[in-house]
Structure 1
Amino acid sequence: MTEFVLVAGAWLGASAWDEVVAGLRAAGHGTHPVTLTGVGEKQGLPVGRQTHVADIVDDVERLDLRDVVLVGHSYAGIPAGQAAERIGGRLARVVFVDACVPADGESFVSTWWQGPAALEAEIAANGGSWAPLTAGDFEGQGLSDEQIARIVDVATPHPGASLSDPAVLSGSLGDLPATYVKCLLDGPEPADDVAALLKSDQWELVTMDTGHWPMYSRPQELVRILNGVAGRP
């Protein structure tokens, strides 16, 4: 049985995966949505170096999971990519859902598309955390008003310490078996670092005609993709 470990991006906890979890469980898979320290129901807990990587690795080891498909969405691709390397033989595949990918020594902040200073200023102005998006920020992402309201309702400030935490990788991410899910409403092409990784024989690209939060906008389609991933070597 495939064991899915699901990690949502900034501001969101395990509940972001509720509809996906239901679909995967109906297909007979084990499912383990993770809430990273400092967000969701873990809001306010301290976050330091490698805390979010440890959150994922510790869950996999504590539950003694095998045949793990590790799914990281958005920001969570950075800790998930590092955790995938560290769980070794427990890993079947890592899935990046419209996600950032880690690069050794780089952080989410250091690779921010508007430049590190822009995001650092936002975090500093919000007392050391990244403020959640407002409803208007989700326009054009294929979400209904009800879906947007659900995201806004559960989103919590994201700890800035995790966003500035440099990734630590001992090998090449391209050596891991990986699927990259590109959500086309959030941009038609993968970022340059992802495009380079997709040249690896170990990586594959899947596209979804939706926005950056497919677990809300197209949960059943995402379930079908993940079911397909579970059947791949």
Structure 2
Amino acid sequence: MDILLIGGLWLDASAWDDVVPELEALGHRPVPIALPGQGDGATSATLDDQVAAVLAALDAASGKPLVVGHSAACTLAWLAVDARPEKVAGVVLIGGFPWDDGKLYADLFEITDGVMPFPGWGPFEGPDSADLDEQAKDAFAAAAVPVPEGVARGVVRLADERRFDVPVTVVCPEFTPAQAQQWIDAGDVPELARAKHVDLVDLDAGHWPMFTRPAELAVVLAGAARSA
């Protein structure tokens, strides 16, 4: 199965370099997606530009692909599902949840000169980064791509309720499946509360398992592909 891989904030497509061979060894065709504004120097990129890039990869896929979003890009993956519900086998959300209609995509940190730079490790102390050593943290920070304001402050627009029919797998790295279920039940994740098929999968990792647990993450993605 084709597996589309969408990295979260500050990541370019190379974030999946360690996951790609693991998925290939499991018989799948991984497709890391290069997002406008995250690696190509296009600081004027918008959320719509990123959605268009994901949809182009989806339309070029063989058969019905699995769409994988990480962190903030869980919303980006969900936007693609909303736009093409009939063309998606399933969606995997790693370490995050999709925003609902009308929310700003990722208005999370200070915007400086039209971009949202990586804010440093302070906001991610604890379970998010516990499995990253100092060398890995330094490498991440050095490679982090500032996210264009037009992406971070883009408005999420959802329209097709057929998205709720698409199977969802939530990969729980820095939080547990029980916590995720509590958040869904409490109404904190209204999109998943309405989804008809949601599986919660535990993964012992921090917020960036593509770097620290690539083989284990690939096995989880392959399992989601089988289920889809």
Q: What is residue 224 of structure 1 aligned with on the other side? A: 219
Cα shift at 1:73:
0.4
Cα shift at 1:64:
4.0
Bigger shift: residues 84-93 or 43-52: 43-52
Q: What is residue 129 of structure 1 aligned with on the other side? A: 115
Secondary structure at the residue paired with 1:57? helix
CA distance in 1 between partners of 2:167 and 2:189 (Å): 14
Give the share of equivalent positions with the same residue, in percent: 31
Q: What is residue 210 of structure 2 aligned with on the other side? A: 215
- The 3 A distance-change label for structure 1 pair 202 and 183 is same
User: What amino acid is the match of 1:216?
Assistant: F
Secondary structure at the residue paired with 1:5? strand
CA offsets per residue over residues 104-124 of structure 1, 9 Å max, x none?
1112346x5xxxxxx4xx11x
Cα shift at 1:196:
6.8
- Of the candidates 55, 60, 82, which is equivalent to residue 57 of structure 1? 55
- Whether the aligned pair in 1 keeps the contact of 2:2 and 2:62 (CA below 8 Å) is yes
CA distance in 1 between partners of 2:193 and 2:173 (Å): 15
Bigger shift: residues 29-38 or 81-90: 81-90
Q: What is residue 199 of structure 2 aligned with on the other side? A: 204
Cα shift at 1:85:
2.2
- Of the candidates 84, 88, 91, which is equivalent to residue 88 of structure 2? 91
CA distance in 2 between partners of 1:186 and 1:43 (Å): 36
Q: What is residue 174 of structure 1 aligned with on the other side? A: 164
Quote the RMSD (CA, aligned, Å). 2.4
- Whether the aligned pair in 2 keeps the contact of 1:138 and 1:148 (CA below 8 Å) is no
Secondary structure at the residue paired with 2:118? coil
Cα shift at 1:165:
1.1
Cα shift at 1:136:
5.7
- The 3 A distance-change label for structure 1 pair 76 and 28 is same
Secondary structure at the residue paired with 2:206? coil
CA distance in 2 between partners of 1:170 and 1:195 (Å): 14
Aligned length in residues: 219
Q: Structure 1: any 5+ residue segments left out of the alignment?
A: 113-118
- The 3 A distance-change label for structure 1 pair 168 and 196 is closer
- Whether the aligned pair in 1 keeps the contact of 2:166 and 2:196 (CA below 8 Å) is no
- The 3 A distance-change label for structure 1 pair 196 and 151 is same
Secondary structure at the residue paired with 2:35? coil
Cα shift at 1:175:
2.7
CA distance in 2 between partners of 1:229 and 1:146 (Å): 32
Secondary structure at the residue paired with 2:30? strand
Q: Does 2:162 align with 1:164? A: no
CA distance in 2 between partners of 1:83 and 1:93 (Å): 11
CA distance in 1 between partners of 2:203 and 2:69 (Å): 16
CA distance in 1 between partners of 2:176 and 2:137 (Å): 15
- Whether the aligned pair in 1 keeps the contact of 2:8 and 2:73 (CA below 8 Å) is yes
Cα shift at 1:94:
0.5
Q: Structure 2: any 5+ residue segments left out of the alignment?
A: none
Cα shift at 1:158:
0.6
Cα shift at 1:200:
4.1
CA offsets per residue over residues 200-226 of structure 1, 9 Å max, x none?
441111122221111112111101101
Secondary structure at the residue paired with 2:72? helix
